[in-house]
């Protein structure tokens, strides 16, 4: 509703996330999972749908309608319009009927009265998910920070495990954990932050580029992802965009993290197993059961 009532404003991610009482990183995952499209795609689609009403119900020029839809040129707007509706804006203005829609997984479309039509649901054909709420103790980890795309973290992991291996800290009950601070859908590739972590005890001290931090204890929603790391974003969307809104829980502002249950060095991508942990703030009176 807020988006459709404020189309002519910038609709910045940070501001929308604040309205939802979420961090920008969490908000984008929740939004994408609930609606099946990114925030930018959703806004762009609804602005194009609004343009069909403006073309029919006003005498505003095509170029001004293009500017209202946040396109810098008539050509860019016309190209996007034709890609979406199969005809040019001028041709659309001349034909009968008013208001056209672009296919959307959520069924949420622009309404001339600013009331959304449709609502997000679990999309047909998708497998049911299993989510467990667990209460975890704080974990002390040694870590190295990677700055850059997530698919380039392997070198950081190699350096971390090589050093800790020499210290005899790799193996046993040590857990391999990845903390994902940023969403690559909204963060420039050279600004993405990722911490490669290995659990350690109190005896370990920071050394050179290896730091120490504590992963907060508390309640977490845990969902197991089976398959390549490249497809983790789809599991995040299911967990945060589908399960969370129905759970009665809120997210804490701390980052999500991943625990890797087998090694990509000795496991085929389709056989990798990863537990995604989303930090929860349970609402009063809500009992999800703790594993």
Distance CA 226, CA 242 (A): 18
pLDDT in tens, the chain (291 residues): 567 666 667 777 777 777 766 777 677 777 777 778 888 888 888 889 989 988 988 888 999 999 988 898 999 999 999 999 999 999 999 888 777 888 887 778 877 654 444 433 444 444 556 899 999 999 999 999 999 999 899 999 999 999 898 888 887 788 999 999 988 877 889 999 999 999 999 999 999 899 999 999 999 999 999 999 999 988 988 898 889 888 888 888 888 999 999 999 889 999 999 999 999 986 554 445 444
Q: How far apart (Å, rounded) are the C-alpha atoms in residues 214 and 155?
A: 23
For position 283, what pLDDT does the model report?
55
Three-state secondary-structure class, residue 198? strand
pLDDT of residue 113: 56
| DSSP code for 283 | P
In angstroms, the CA 155 to CA 43 distance is: 37
CA angle, corner 53, sides to 47 and 58, nearest 5?
Answer: 115
Q: Are 251 and 280 in contact (CB under 8 A)?
A: yes
Helices 24-35 and 39-57: crossing angle in degrees, nearest 10, is: 60
pTM of the model: 0.63
State how far the Cα of 238 lies from the Cα of 123, in Å rounded to an integer.
10
State how far the Cα of 3 lies from the Cα of 245, in Å rounded to an integer. Answer: 19
Domains delineated in the chain: 2-94 (1.10.10.60), 131-282 (3.20.80.10)
């Amino acid at each position: 509703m807020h988006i459709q009532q404020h189309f002519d404003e910038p609709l910045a991610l940070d501001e929308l996330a604040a309205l939802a009482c979420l961090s920008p990183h969490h908000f984008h995952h929740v939004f994408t999972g609930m609606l099946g499209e990114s925030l930018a795609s959703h806004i762009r689609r609804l602005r194009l749908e609004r343009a069909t009403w403006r073309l029919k119900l006003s005498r505003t020029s095509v170029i001004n309608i293009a500017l209202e839809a946040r396109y810098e040129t008539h050509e860019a707007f016309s190209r996007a319009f034709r890609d979406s509706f199969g005809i040019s804006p001028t041709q659309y203005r001349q034909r009968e009927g008013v208001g056209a829609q672009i296919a959307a997984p959520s069924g949420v479309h622009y309404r001339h009265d600013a009331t959304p039509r449709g609502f997000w649901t679990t999309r047909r054909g998708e497998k049911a998910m299993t989510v467990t709420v667990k209460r975890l103790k704080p974990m002390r980890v040694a870590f190295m920070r990677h700055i850059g795309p997530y698919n380039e973290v392997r070198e950081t992991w190699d350096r971390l495990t090589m050093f800790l291996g020499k210290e005899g800290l790799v193996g046993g009950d040590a857990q391999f954990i990845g903390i994902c601070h940023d969403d690559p859908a909204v963060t420039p590739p050279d600004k993405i932050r990722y911490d490669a972590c290995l659990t350690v005890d109190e005896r370990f001290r920071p050394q050179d580029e290896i730091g120490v931090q504590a992963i907060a204890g508390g309640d977490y929603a845990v969902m197991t992802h089976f398959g390549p790391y490249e497809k983790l974003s789809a599991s995040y969307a299911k967990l945060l965009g589908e399960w969370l809104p129905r759970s009665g829980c809120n997210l804490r502002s701390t980052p999500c993290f991943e625990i890797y249950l087998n090694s990509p060095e000795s496991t085929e991508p389709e056989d990798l197993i990863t537990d995604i942990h989303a930090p929860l703030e349970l609402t009063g009176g809500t009992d999800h059961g703790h594993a």
